[in-house]
Amino acid sequence: MKFPCRLDKFVSHLAQIPRSKAKAEIKQKQITVNGEVATAFDHPINQTDVVLLCDEPLEYLGKRYFMLNKPVGYVCANADELHPTVFDLLDEPNMKDFHVAGRLDIDTTGLVLITNDGEWSHKITSPKHNKFKTYLVETQEPLTEQALDQLRHGVQLHNEKELTRPAIAEALASYSLRLSISEGKYHQVKRMLAAVNNKVIELHREKIANIELDSQLASGEYRQLTQSESKL
Active site residue 91: no
Strands (DSSP E) contained in the chain are 5-6, 31-33, 36-37, 44-45, 51-53, 56-58, 65-70, 99-101, 109-115, 133-139, 168-173, 176-181, 200-208, 211-212, 222-224
- Among positive and negative, which fits the CA dihedral 85, 88, 91, 92? positive
Annotated catalytic residue within 80, 91, 97, 105? 105
Q: What is the DSSP string of 163-187?
A: BPPP-EEEEEETTEEEEEES---TT
Label each residue of 46-73 as H, E or C. Answer: CCCCCEEECCEEECCCCCCEEEEEECCC
Task: Report, as residue numbers or ranges, the catalytic residues.
Answer: 105
